[in-house]
């Protein structure tokens, strides 16, 4: 039996959110999307891409699967890359994963069934769709999925430019390096700027499971549950960006779910054998 589910998601930034669109000099410019306004004008609104959001969910899913199957350090690099990042299409003489073999792979590895990935020369379609993460601002009103009470800020209110510095130890002659006096030492401090969205900014998005199995549903729900506990948004989480508070609503009703961990763990040896046999 297959089923479909829709989750509506609202996030609030607890720290600056950065999502680079381009680099101009030493300034990382945030990603923006054109949104046509009711009067026909066009506004550039900062949006976190669905690709970035999906990437966060995929990494969470891979970590959950790794904890259950315990394959740390046992998989070829190409297979590990497929599970965590989606992989890449490569030329190979191996037979593509199709038919009964593909069905078995989906049963054993919910990460691939839900998120898909590139296996050898052919992609595997996942059953999960995700939306862009859109800030709740006046300029984004035409594409917001829900109505919000109270005043809504403009995109100009939430956009900020943060300055950072980095000590250039090489230029300063540290770390055992030798500086050429003829070249000049220059300034040991490198400065750069990052466009961010301010803490307190609210966002909305959605995640949809399309004709997935009971196992897919349970796995996707667990990934989203973990996202509410430890997920992040955008880049530069290593310097404190991307912290969020998340609320998720299952619009289609939850219902009782299978224990995907127990099901997958019961066939661990078969799952590992299947992963090791995937074309690289």
pLDDT tens by residue, 144-182: 999 998 899 999 999 988 777 766 555 555 555 555 555
Question: For residue 207, is pLDDT > 70?
Answer: yes
Give CA–CA dist 11/132, Å, rounded: 12
Which residues is 12 bridged to in the sheet? 202, 245
Give residue 174's pLDDT: 53
What are the sequence ranges of the domains in the chain?
3-133+199-276, 159-195
Question: For residue 199, is pLDDT > 90?
Answer: yes
- Residue 131 DSSP label: -
Q: What share of the chain is helix, strand, coil (3-state, %, to 5)?
A: 35, 30, 35
Give residue 95's pLDDT: 65
Give residue 180's pLDDT: 55
Give residue 263's pLDDT: 96
Query: What's the rounded mean pLDDT across residues 52-62?
Result: 96
pTM: predicted TM-score of the whole model, two decimal places: 0.86
pLDDT band at residue 241 using 50, 70 and 90 as cut-offs: confident
State phi, psi for 138 to the nearest 5 degrees.
-60, -40
Contact 231, 56 (CB under 8 A): yes
Name the token pair of 119.
Answer: 């296996």
Q: Which of these, 243, 215, 210, 211, lies nearest to 228 by C-alpha position?
A: 243
Indicate the range of 11-20, 54-63, 91-100, 151-160 predicted with least confidence.
Answer: 91-100
Give CA–CA dist 275/26, Å, rounded: 42
Pairing of strands 117-119, 20-24: unpaired
């Amino acid at each position: 039996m297959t089923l479909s589910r829709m989750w509506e998601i609202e996030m609030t930034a607890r720290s600056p959110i950065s999502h680079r669109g381009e680099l101009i000099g030493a300034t990382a410019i945030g990603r923006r999307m054109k949104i046509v306004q009711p009067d026909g004008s066009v506004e550039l609104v900062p949006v976190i891409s669905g690709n970035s959001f999906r990437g966060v969910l995929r990494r969470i899913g891979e970590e959950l699967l790794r904890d259950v199957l315990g394959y740390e350090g046992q998989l070829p690099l190409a297979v590990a890359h497929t599970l965590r990042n989606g992989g890449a299409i490569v030329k190979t003489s191996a037979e593509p994963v199709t038919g009964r073999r593909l069905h078995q792979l989906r049963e054993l590895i919910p990460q691939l069934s839900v998120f898909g990935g590139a296996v050898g020369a052919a992609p595997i379609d996942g059953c999960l769709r995700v939306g862009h993460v859109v800030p709740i601002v006046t300029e984004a009103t035409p594409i917001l999925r829900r109505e919000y009470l109270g005043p809504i800020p403009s995109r100009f209110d939430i956009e900020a430019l943060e300055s950072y510095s980095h000590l250039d130890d090489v230029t300063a002659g540290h770390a055992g390096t030798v500086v050429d006096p003829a070249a000049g030492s220059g300034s040991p401090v490198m400065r750069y700027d990052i466009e961010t969205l301010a803490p307190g900014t609210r966002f909305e998005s959605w995640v949809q499971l399309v004709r997935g199995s009971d196992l897919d549903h349970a796995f996707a729900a667990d990934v989203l549950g973990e996202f509410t506990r430890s997920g992040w948004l955008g880049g530069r989480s290593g310097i404190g960006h991307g912290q969020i508070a998340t609320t998720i609503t299952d619009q289609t009703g939850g219902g009782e779910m299978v224990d995907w961990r127990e099901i997958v763990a019961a066939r661990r040896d078969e799952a590992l054998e299947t992963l090791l046999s995937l074309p690289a």
